[in-house]
Structure 1
Amino acid sequence: MLLLGVLIVWTPFLLLVLALVVARLTGCTVNEARAQTCRIAGLDIGGLLYTLMTMGWLMIPLLPFMALTLIGAAVAGVLALFGIRWP
């Protein structure tokens, strides 16, 4: 259940990174102003890249929760490093 919550919180960031990586690999231009033509194997994925890019705006209200997951992971890592078991 906790892993599902972490995945939901980090999904907008992952989609934004996916859009940027695909755009970089294909040589396409992607920005939040408008969808631009990006043809891969005869398909125009410009609209999809635009949608994935604008999902990044959902990170703004989710930033506190993203920070909490990072802090929780750091605490869990330190506890695991020192061999402390959480009840």
Structure 2
Amino acid sequence: MLLLVVLIVWTPAILLAVALILARLTGCEVNEARSNPCRVAGLDIGGLLHTMMVTGWLVIPLLPVMALTLIGGVVAGGLALFGIWRP
């Protein structure tokens, strides 16, 4: 259940990063204002890149929850390391 919450919270940030990486690799222009044509292997993925880019705006209200998941991950990792290193 907790993994599902983390996945849902981090999805907009992941989609934004993937859109920016794909745009950089394909040489396409992507922005929030409008969808630009972007041909890759005969397909226009400009609309998809635009949609993925706009979902990045959901990161702003989700930042507190994202921070909590990061803190929880660090604490869980620290506890796991302490449990392993404990004689």
- Provide TM-score, normalisation by structure 1: 0.93
What CA RMSD, in Å, does the superposition of the two structures yield over aligned residues?
1.0
Matched, 1:40 2:40: yes
Matched, 1:65 2:65: yes
Give the number of equivalent residue pairs: 84
Describe the SS at the equivalent of 1:33: coil
Matched, 1:20 2:20: yes
- Provide TM-score, normalisation by structure 2: 0.93
Measure how far apart 1:42 and its partner are.
1.1
**Identical-residue share of aligned pairs (%):** 75
Would you tell me which structure has more helix in proportion to its own residues? Answer: 2
Runs (4 or more) in structure 1 with deviation over 6 Å come to none
Partner amino acid, structure 2, of 1:51:
T
Measure how far apart 1:67 and its partner are.
0.3
Structure 2: tracts of 5 or more residues without a match: none
Structure 1: tracts of 5 or more residues without a match: none
